[in-house]
Structure 1
Amino acid sequence: MFELPMIRVDGKEYLERLQRGEFFMRSSLYYQTLDSKDTARSDPYDGAIPAPKLTGSSFSELGISNFRNPRIMIGHTFIKCFFYYDKTDCRQIQDGVYLLSMTADTKKALSEFSSLYALIILKPSQLVEQVSLTCQKEALKFWYSEVEYLTSEALEQRRIEFLTGQSKIHTVFYKNIDFQSQQEFRFCVQVPYKHISKSKNLNGIEYQMIDLEAKEETFTLNIGSLKNISCIIPVSEMLNYPILVDVNNKQISFLREVDYEKIERQQD
């Protein structure tokens, strides 16, 4: 059965490590504090739900004032992100052969990562299974899902649902609609931060302070080899030409412009 592939854009060395099973994850805080020039990933609300009304005297008692980008998030969170093909990106051109293309907005979003290579995962279900089994063995809380891209109004509704217990969806799976061309699929685990204060108590409410260094913390799972379901391809090829996936022969190739025009004429 054909599965819509997932893609990870990164340096070739890191993709080779991922192929060998090194599932490297970053703190969600890392993506919230990236330089604004990193247009592909810089989002102060990454992994969180915006909460513009989250102010008040209770925080001033903790010595916190002048809120910048107030948000609600689940702490101790580490994530890894992939691009996933949507059903509208895929066409079957003959038995067992599929054509994968991208919109102009998606190509622009992926090109902004400024990496030369991409890892294409041909069987995402196997990747999910390997990560899931590893987390079970290590007794880790684990989530995975496509990201839901929402308007500011919809995000505000999600905030209310989260605070009132109506929604159990992890906050890392919400992003502003401005980022929808990224078409993200995310893996998320919960591991205690090292740079965090001991539990404190204020008016019967327990809290902890997170040090700035927590944003640089990382976590790595050893999920086993992915070489049988993946291959590394040049980003330039992926962005310039549609990808042909031959399920029968387990082959990936790029469709040159002249061949693409030929197929288009045959389909008409």
Structure 2
Amino acid sequence: MTDLALLQALGALCVEAGRAILDVYDAEAIVVRSKDDRSPVTDADERAEEILHAVLAKLFPGVTVIAEEAASRDGAPTEAPETFLLVDPLDGTREFINRNGEFTVNVGLISRRAPVLGCVHAPALGATWIGAAGRGAFKAEAAIRDVPAPAAYRPIAVRQRPAAGLCAVASRSHADAETEAFLEKLGVVERRSAGSSLKFCLVAEAAADVYPRFGPTMEWDTAAGHAVLAAAGGAVTRPDMTPFDYGKAEAGFRNGGFVAWGARD
């Protein structure tokens, strides 16, 4: 299977998981439970993760899968292999609960501590982003619940910094004073809000230039979006501009703060 065919197969899988999410999303009532860390979880998270697990084993034979709900239930691995998959079956659970459509299915492949391949799918928007190192990044739009045709995928790339100033995208659910201070220092002239990993995708498709996040996240929250953005010509760094890496098993796969950038020059 070629890199592009693998990416498209991953996109189809994420759409399948997205259908399971929409089955719950479209129900009259969404039952919300609390995990041990007090974060919300729904049946949609768990159903989607089961679907992803089953097929990822066939698409990436022998590759370890580290997924949010399994890690929450059983504990995350104490060591990270050189190559592994990070899965967030439903990023933006709060957006899902609030029914604003800004939630995503996320799968990212990590190799030597860097994301090298990823897919982000927004089930309620009918949009799918895929990307791989050396292969580029692509976006497809299709009817909700439909798998995009291969020809529907169009190349995307970050844009050069606008002469008039930067557009920043920030979290709809996690705004804070540190983010505001950073954006002011950067001289941002336009701001957008979005939920979940959609923020990475907005930078990747040249709809924004920078996405800062200084609050806590987990590696499965960022891997897929990071992979798509990097494939589109962007980058993700720590706030001090050092590399933002993965496989931090000693920290429970927790991330520190980061900034996602479009073109740097």
By relative contact order (CA 8 Å, sep 6+), the higher-ranking structure is: 1
What TM-score range do you get, normalising by the shorter chain?
under 0.3
Q: Which has the larger radius of gyration?
A: 1
TM-score by length of 2: 0.24
